[in-house]
Chains A and B, each alone.
Chain A
Amino acid sequence: MNLKHLSDKMGLDENEYIDLLYLFIDTATADLVNLKTAVSNEYMNKAAGIAHSLKGAALNMGLTDFFETAATIEAEIHRGPRADVGQLIHRLTELLADLTRMV
């Protein structure tokens, strides 16, 4: 993942993009904590809503891997009442850590 490439793709200069990325990381970190809590408490509607929000923000930022993983979590939650999304949430956490390291 290349910041220059991503910012060009979004039509933003690199500093603007990084500013937005910081904000994305902050909100996504909080959202991931809430997502884990919602899943462990089996509040699946709430979990789906959080995954939906993460997916939308990633789409805005052009973060394709993050978007696809969040979309899969949302789809899994809708597929069954006891969806096992632990692995996927772990994957999102890793992607978020990569982004954090990158900026």
Chain B
Amino acid sequence: MLKILVVDNHPLILKFMSGLLRKKGHEVLTASDGISAIDMLKTHHPDVFFIDLIMPHIGGEQLCRIIRSLPDFNSAFLVVISAIAAEEKQRIDGCLADAVIAKGPFDKMSAHVLRVIDDFESGRVDHLKGKILGLDEIYEREITKELLAAKKHYEVTLNHISEGFLELIEKNRIVYANHTAISILDTFEEEILSSNFMELFQPEDQKRVAECIEATGKLQKAVSLGEPADINKKTVEFKFIPLKDEDQHSIVAILTDVTHQKHLEAQLQRAQKMEAIGTLAGGVAHDLNNILSGIVSYPELLLMQIPEDSDLRAPLQTMWDSGRKAVTIVQDLLTLARRGVETMEAVNLNTIIDQYMRSPEYQKLQSYHPMVEIRTELCEDLMNIMGSPVHLSKTVMNLLSNAVEAVDNKGEVYIKTDNCYVDRPINGYETVAEGEYILMKIADTGSGISAADLEHIFEPFYTKKKMGRSGTGLGMAVVWGAVKDHKGYIDIQSSIGEGTTVVLYFPATRRRFDEKNVLPVEDYMGNGETILVVDDVKEQREITCSMLSTLGYIVETVPSGEAAVEFLSRIALDLIVLDMIMDPGMDGLDTYQKIVEGNPRQKAIIVSGFSETDRIFEAQRLGAGAYLRKPFTLDKLGQAIKKELKGPKP
């Protein structure tokens, strides 16, 4: 005896199938829709399922897939019985059914149902795969196809709109989910259908969602959930619409994923807040600055005039200290207020860092934190940026003092600058302008910043420091403003207990800064010496060639190490500019080794887009000269070549 579940929304089919199968001694269970069938599987374990294809509250196609996804039923014997077998062959294939019977007159259906059961009991079911029993007794009906086409039209439309759709029936069970809803909920159709809608929500949201659904049913009109709800780390807005006709009541939930929109809104809000505070700060700071000069200057003068043991010394000293702290705050406010002022000139971040590290402020910072080791790795040929030295200096000072103060006791702060090429989004930004950038990284091994604090870190006066002890509460606001005004980007990574890394990116410029000790171009001009440029990148060969021609050299170029070896075997040149990384074929070291085998006195300088490696050191050991990091500037290239040409032959 088999236990058989028949699922069909027409009572006539249920009655007929029950009678037919019971007469053969089988136990028959019936369900009038998909969701009732799923509920039955919690307490029953049928051997065979007969499932209608078109049903309300989870259709046959979805029901078959749900049954197949349940561990206890993944090998269950599924038979689809369908009135649209002739018209919907493709949909029937999607059911993953073991057998399919076309609905028709009961006498024909009886024969097919009993035959399938016999085959199942005798283990001969393979021949049923891919067949539709009874198909030859019906014909493909144009009208039925039209009816199905209309249904499909809605399905296709619903599956291609940007909102998620869920249909809910009694007890908030989900009986329909379009593709967008499944994607927003990050689930599978088999998992979401028949599940309880309320279980999607956090406990704190469930009450208001339940109230909203209840109101939709009572008012019989669309009701929106006020605040969006958080689902799977997404921010989702909900609107509920009642669906009611003579025989069916349900509610459609429309889901809109507003995660991206909310993120942009928060960014905009933050930017507006910063702008407003900047404007306000400007006005206040201007007036305060004048007032403070009196408060700060006179205590200092009085302290010089009163005796050492005067009772007034301590209060005057306190007044003076407080006044100076107020001046620092006002100066930060003024820095914020000066945002957007066009004082852009070519500056080098290394110079800014160097100047700060020689300042009394830096000495003071170090004296307060003697256990913090400060390590620098400043790129020797760092490109310039167009910027405001005042703002950049404040930026360096704020980031460095934050990093040092974040280290509780013993630890390290690391400052690095480098040239880089940005061609992909930086963390926290949707898009970045592709191009050459200067990178400044300040990393500490301090206590780290929580995710919640990171959200507010650039807001003025949002500080975890003890107010008045250090800082003004405006440091990171100044950093934010400066980076924004320099069309740069900030990437902050932090973990509690592990430290923080702040990376700033500023667009690089090839303009030179007005530094008095810059060598005049005459000092590194060439005099018709011959140079071979070896580089596998065409554009790089052209840039270097152009620079060298400007400097007065006679230039030849080759695209590979092999070509360079061949060229120099025929013609002797004064110097080679050798790219270290070339692919495929010989790299710079292999090439230089081969060249010096033929001419041990060949002069060369090495260029590379990567950091110095053992292979560069090896080439230098063999006699190659300076190593230049790409992208290099005209003066760096000129000076390196001049130095190499003037020096003794290797």
**Given known A-B contacts A34-B246, A46-B245, A12 and B147 have beta carbons under 8 A apart:** no
- In the complex, whether B319 has a CB less than 8 A from a CB of chain A is no
- In the complex, whether A78 has a CB less than 8 A from a CB of chain B is yes
Q: Write out the residue numbers on chain A whose beta carbons fall within 8 Å of the beta carbon of B19.
A: 16, 19-20
How would residues 137 to 162 of chain B score, 1 for a CB under 8 Å from any chain A CB and 0 otherwise? 00000011011001000000000000
Taking the closest CB of chain A, its distance from the CB of B588, in whole angstroms, is 74
- In the complex, whether A40 has a CB less than 8 A from a CB of chain B is no
**Which of B104, B111, B146, B150 is in CB contact (< 8 Å) with A60?**
B104
Question: Does the CB pair A60–B109 fall under 8 Å?
Answer: yes
**Which of A20, A27, A37, A45 is in CB contact (< 8 Å) with B150?**
A45
Q: Write out the residue numbers on chain A whose beta carbons fall within 8 Å of the beta carbon of B150.
A: 45
Question: Does the CB pair A62–B105 fall under 8 Å?
Answer: yes
Taking the closest CB of chain B, its distance from the CB of A28, in whole angstroms, is 9
Q: Write out the residue numbers on chain B whose beta carbons fall within 8 Å of the beta carbon of A60.
A: 12-13, 16, 103-106, 109
Question: Does the CB pair B106–A52 fall under 8 Å?
Answer: no
Taking the closest CB of chain A, its distance from the CB of B17, in whole angstroms, is 11
Question: Does the CB pair B11–A27 fall under 8 Å?
Answer: yes
Taking the closest CB of chain B, its distance from the CB of A80, in whole angstroms, is 13
Q: Write out the residue numbers on chain A whose beta carbons fall within 8 Å of the beta carbon of B12.
A: 20, 23-24, 27, 57, 60-61
Q: Write out the residue numbers on chain B whose beta carbons fall within 8 Å of the beta carbon of A26.
A: 11
- Give Cα A53–Cα B11 distance, bound, in whole angstroms: 12
- In the complex, whether B511 has a CB less than 8 A from a CB of chain A is no
- Give Cα A102–Cα B239 distance, bound, in whole angstroms: 52
**Given known A-B contacts A78-B143, A78-B146, A61 and B106 have beta carbons under 8 A apart:** yes
- Give Cα A46–Cα B147 distance, bound, in whole angstroms: 10
> Which B-chain residue is minimally distant from A9 (CB atoms)?
B107
Question: Does the CB pair B10–A27 fall under 8 Å?
Answer: yes
Q: Write out the residue numbers on chain B whose beta carbons fall within 8 Å of the beta carbon of A71.
A: 143
**Given known A-B contacts A20-B16, A23-B12, A34-B247, A12 and B103 have beta carbons under 8 A apart:** no
Count residues on chain A whose CB falls below 8 Å from chain B CBs. Answer: 29
Question: Does the CB pair B105–A59 fall under 8 Å?
Answer: yes
- Give Cα A60–Cα B138 distance, bound, in whole angstroms: 12
- In the complex, whether B15 has a CB less than 8 A from a CB of chain A is yes
Question: Does the CB pair A62–B106 fall under 8 Å?
Answer: yes
- Give Cα A61–Cα B12 distance, bound, in whole angstroms: 9
> Which B-chain residue is minimally distant from A52 (CB atoms)?
B147
> Which B-chain residue is minimally distant from A46 (CB atoms)?
B245
Taking the closest CB of chain A, its distance from the CB of B117, in whole angstroms, is 16
> Which A-chain residue is minimally distant from B150 (CB atoms)?
A45
**Which of B106, B147, B245, B247 is in CB contact (< 8 Å) with A10?**
B106
Q: Write out the residue numbers on chain A whose beta carbons fall within 8 Å of the beta carbon of B143.
A: 71, 74-75, 78
- Give Cα A53–Cα B12 distance, bound, in whole angstroms: 11
- In the complex, whether A56 has a CB less than 8 A from a CB of chain B is yes
- Give Cα A45–Cα B147 distance, bound, in whole angstroms: 8
- In the complex, whether B83 has a CB less than 8 A from a CB of chain A is yes
How would residues 4 to 23 of chain B score, 1 for a CB under 8 Å from any chain A CB and 0 otherwise? 00000011110110010000
> Which A-chain residue is minimally distant from B103 (CB atoms)?
A56
> Which A-chain residue is minimally distant from B245 (CB atoms)?
A46
Q: Write out the residue numbers on chain B whose beta carbons fall within 8 Å of the beta carbon of A49.
A: 147
Count residues on chain B whose CB falls below 8 Å from chain A CBs. Answer: 24
- In the complex, whether A11 has a CB less than 8 A from a CB of chain B is yes
- Give Cα A9–Cα B107 distance, bound, in whole angstroms: 7
> Which A-chain residue is minimally distant from B247 (CB atoms)?
A34
**Given known A-B contacts A74-B143, A78-B147, A56 and B106 have beta carbons under 8 A apart:** no
Q: Write out the residue numbers on chain B whose beta carbons fall within 8 Å of the beta carbon of A53.
A: 10
- In the complex, whether A48 has a CB less than 8 A from a CB of chain B is yes
Q: Write out the residue numbers on chain B whose beta carbons fall within 8 Å of the beta carbon of A59.
A: 103-105
Q: Which of B198-232 contact A (CB under 8 A)?
A: none
Taking the closest CB of chain A, its distance from the CB of B47, in whole angstroms, is 25
Taking the closest CB of chain A, its distance from the CB of B628, in whole angstroms, is 75
Q: Write out the residue numbers on chain B whose beta carbons fall within 8 Å of the beta carbon of A62.
A: 105-107
- Give Cα A37–Cα B83 distance, bound, in whole angstroms: 25
Q: Which of A4-55 contact B (CB under 8 A)?
A: 9-12, 16, 19-20, 23-24, 26-27, 34, 37, 45-46, 48-49, 52-53
Question: Does the CB pair A10–B107 fall under 8 Å?
Answer: yes
Q: Write out the residue numbers on chain A whose beta carbons fall within 8 Å of the beta carbon of B13.
A: 60
> Which B-chain residue is minimally distant from A26 (CB atoms)?
B11
- Give Cα A20–Cα B246 distance, bound, in whole angstroms: 25
- Give Cα A59–Cα B96 distance, bound, in whole angstroms: 27
- In the complex, whether B110 has a CB less than 8 A from a CB of chain A is yes
**Given known A-B contacts A23-B15, A46-B245, A11 and B146 have beta carbons under 8 A apart:** no
- B residues with CB within 8 A of A: 10-13, 15-16, 19, 83, 103-107, 109-111, 143-144, 146-147, 150, 245-247
New contact pairs (17) apart from A34-B247, A52-B147, CB-CB < 8 Å: A10-B107, A11-B106, A11-B111, A20-B12, A20-B106, A24-B12, A27-B11, A34-B246, A45-B150, A46-B245, A56-B10, A60-B12, A60-B13, A60-B104, A60-B106, A78-B146, A78-B147
- A residues with CB within 8 A of B: 9-12, 16, 19-20, 23-24, 26-27, 34, 37, 45-46, 48-49, 52-53, 56-57, 59-62, 71, 74-75, 78
Q: Which 10 A-B pairs have the closest CB atoms?
A: A11-B107, A10-B106, A10-B107, A56-B83, A78-B146, A75-B143, A57-B12, A62-B105, A78-B143, A60-B106
**19 A-B pairs with C-beta separation under 8 A:** A10-B107, A11-B110, A16-B19, A19-B19, A23-B11, A24-B12, A27-B12, A48-B147, A49-B147, A57-B10, A57-B12, A59-B105, A60-B12, A60-B13, A60-B104, A60-B109, A71-B143, A74-B143, A74-B147
